[in-house]
Amino acid sequence: MTEPVRAEELRVSDAERSAVQEHLRRAVGHGQLELSEFDQRVQAVWAARTRGELDRVTRDLPEPPPPPPPAPRHRVFSDTPGGTTMRVLTTVWASVLAVNLVVWTLVSLGALEPVYPWFIWMAPSGAVLAVLYATGIGRPRR
């Protein structure tokens, strides 16, 4: 009757070697290994035939800390195609309105009295943008 093979005597695959190499690469990135030691250990990883040999290469390395969570993103418009379009259209509309208001103010000051407020003709297009946003186009998904 044959004895079962112990876990450390099991042969390793290239996928397991690659995983250990990635672990070593992360250790270098976190300052746990120097490049020369990394090189030596990677050579040992690719020469390893059993899991026990792989375990010896990384035995003294703690697991690297998890990556920091992504920063929360608070935006009025989402990064969907509709959100990008709404952001561009709103920026264009606000810029044109600002230019119209400045020109109207300068003309009114030059005439020494208020002139016809032609900038009010931008209200319908602003209303269309508001309705699109209110119906959900460009709003972040929950």
Is residue 94's pLDDT more than 90? yes
User: Comparing 72 with 21, which gets the higher pLDDT?
Assistant: 21
pLDDT-derived band at 83, boundaries 50, 70, 90: confident
pLDDT band at 1 (very low <50, low <70, confident <90, very high): low
Q: Of residues 61 and 70, which shows the higher confidence score?
A: 61
Q: What is the DSSP letter of 8?
A: G
Sequence-distant (≥ 6) Cβ neighbours of residue 7 within 8 angstroms: 51
What pLDDT shows up at residue 79? Answer: 61
11 in helix, strand or coil?
Answer: strand
What sections of the chain are H helices per DSSP? 14-29, 35-47, 51-58, 81-111, 123-134
Between helix 123-134 and helix 81-111 the angle, nearest 10°, is: 160
